[in-house]
Amino acid sequence: MATKKFMYVNRKAPYGTVYALESLEVVLIAAAFEQEVSLAFIDDGVYQIAKGQNTDGIGMKNFSSTYNALGDYEVNKLYVEKESLEERGLTADDLMPIMWEDEDEDWAEKPSVRIVSRAEMADILAEQEVTYSF
């Protein structure tokens, strides 16, 4: 089967609407298709990978730990827009340390999150062949 560049653009906060959860469900299923997968986090989407999420008060499942498992599915390109973080008073330290293991380098742990500027994000999006927007 042909390999294409798939991009999942996450724009919404993790709770409040179901978009983030159902986007993650697509990413996990898609991993079985052995495509080249990237995720983008822009606008309120940056909150999806924020540290210390606690849903006790809202009766919803806290699915944030699932992002840490993405590396096991060879999903290790998580692009986060710098301006979206800044506009919300967030920095790289506010994000979960999502890692993946590089089997070509003796399973060395490497960070999956890459913070990029808005202009860089535009270039990354332009390179994609299939883009899903959530």
Partner 1 sequence: MKFTVMVNEGPYQHQSADTALHFVRAALEKGHEIFRVFFYHDGVNNGTRIAVPPKDDRLIQQEWSNLAKEHDLDLVICIAAAQRRGLMDAAESKRQGLDADNIIEGFRISGLGQLIEGGIQSDRTVVFGD
Q: Which residues would be at the binding site for partner 1 (CB under 8 A)?
A: 1-2, 4, 6, 18-19, 22, 25-26, 29-30, 32-33, 35, 130-134
Closer CB to partner 1, 35 or 90, in the complex: 35
As measured in angstroms, the least distance from the Cβ of 63 to partner 1 is: 14
DSSP state for residue 103 in the 8-state scheme: G
* Long-range pairs for 14-17: beta carbons < 8 A, 24 or more residues apart: 14/47, 14/48, 14/50, 14/53, 14/63, 14/64, 15/55, 15/58, 15/60
Q: CA 116 to CA 126: how far, in whole Å?
A: 14
As measured in angstroms, the least distance from the Cβ of 87 to partner 1 is: 20
Closer CB to partner 1, 24 or 115, in the complex: 24
Q: CA 106 to CA 94: how far, in whole Å?
A: 29
- In sequence order, what are the residues at sequence separation of 6 or more whose Cβ sits closer than 8 angstroms to the Cβ of residue 117? 81, 82, 83
Closer CB to partner 1, 37 or 124, in the complex: 37
As measured in angstroms, the least distance from the Cβ of 35 to partner 1 is: 7
As measured in angstroms, the least distance from the Cβ of 134 to partner 1 is: 8
- Spatial contact of 42 and 81, defined as CB atoms under 8 Å apart: yes
Closer CB to partner 1, 92 or 130, in the complex: 130
